[in-house]
Amino acid sequence: MADTVLHEVTDGLATITLNRPDAMNALDVETKEALRDALLQAAADPAVRAVLLTGNGKAFCVGQDLKEHIGLLEADREAGTGGTMNTVREHYNPITTAIATMPKPVVAAVNGVAAGAGAGFAFAADYRIVADTASFNTAFAGVALTADSGVSWTLARLIGHGRAADLLLFPRSVRAEEALDLGIAGRVVPAAELVDEAEALARRLAEGPTAAYAAIKESLAYGAGHSLVETLDKEDELQVRAGASEDHWIAVQAFVKKEKPRFQGR
């Protein structure tokens, strides 16, 4: 794994950290590939029951590394090709898909500015815990681009179509407290407490009923694009599966005995 992305697994929790602090964790090709691979590895690893995604330094992630990007665009123009924008298909789409669809919860600990694709990755997470000094910015229109990294899907579902259109058409910095009011942030904490609070939250999920969390993620995604009747059928399917899990049996036994359940993640 490249040093631009750190990946550590401890007691069921995978902590994935963007590690280009001098570049505000901007996404060059190396970093995008490393982040994609780390997320796919965490998704497939049965020892991982939750993921914590964050950044080192003053930023969570400011999106595309425009210094690298302009060089790639110049090469495209000279060659008469458009391969640079293949990064959406090759990097941003797999990263967002891995975050949103892996069968385990993903917490984004937003330690600083999250812009462009960086905001998109945070929006794709299941929960966002945000430092009080952090902010979000869609940024795309400011560089004459449209939304990518799933923002046109995730942001509208977080805050509604009208507000999402406003933030995409007129990009601006959305500070932490406003992000909380809008529904982007799940929790805002003092910056000095973010690391501890985020880890505690993610570890709570890592110790929880992993299969149930996976079903919750699946049902929310399904319900966003289907009718009530179809969603009820999906809930039935998923609940039958959850009811047959070892963790459900553990939870019921613990309830009857008035004990705290010790989930196994299966």
3-state secondary structure 133-152: CCEEECCHHHHCCCCCCCHH
Quickly list DSSP for 15-52: EEEE--GGGTT-B-HHHHHHHHHHHHHHHH-TT--EEE
The confidence score (pLDDT) of residue 91 equals: 96
The pTM for the full model equals 0.93
Q: Which CA distances in Å does 146 have to 26, 36, 70, 152? A: 18, 21, 17, 9
Average pLDDT value for the chain: 95
Pair 160, 224: CB distance under 8 Å: no
Pair 174, 135: CB distance under 8 Å: yes
Region 49-76: mean pLDDT is 93
Q: What is the dihedral of CA 174, 179, 183, 184, to 10 degrees?
A: 70
The closest of 50, 52, 11 to 217, measured between CA atoms, is 50
Q: Which two tokens stand for residue 262?
A: 């010790």
Q: What is d(CA 4, CA 91) in angstroms, rounded to the nearest whole number? A: 15
With a cut of 80, say whether residue 82 has pLDDT above it: no
Calculate the CA 70 to chain-centre distance.
27
The confidence score (pLDDT) of residue 119 equals: 98
The confidence score (pLDDT) of residue 115 equals: 98
Cα four-point dihedral sign 160, 163, 166, 172: negative
CB neighbours of 188 closer than 8 A, spacing ≥ 6? 129, 130, 131, 132, 176, 177, 179, 180
Region 163-192: mean pLDDT is 98
In the chain the domains, ranked by start, together with CATH numbers, are: 5-206 (3.90.226.10), 210-257 (1.10.12)
Of all residues in the chain, the percent with pLDDT exceeding 70 is 99
Q: 201: number of CA atoms within 13 Å, CB side?
A: 22
Residue 142 φ then ψ, to 5°: -65, -25
Q: What is d(CA 216, CA 228) in angstroms, rounded to the nearest whole number? A: 16
Region 3-32: mean pLDDT is 97
Beta strands in 57-172 (DSSP E): 59-61, 106-110, 113-115, 127-131, 135-137
The confidence score (pLDDT) of residue 2 equals: 60
The confidence score (pLDDT) of residue 48 equals: 97
Confidence band, pLDDT 50/70/90 cuts, at residue 214: very high
With a cut of 60, say whether residue 1 has pLDDT above it: no
Calculate the CA 42 to chain-centre distance.
13
Q: What is d(CA 127, CA 105) in angstroms, rounded to the nearest whole number? A: 8
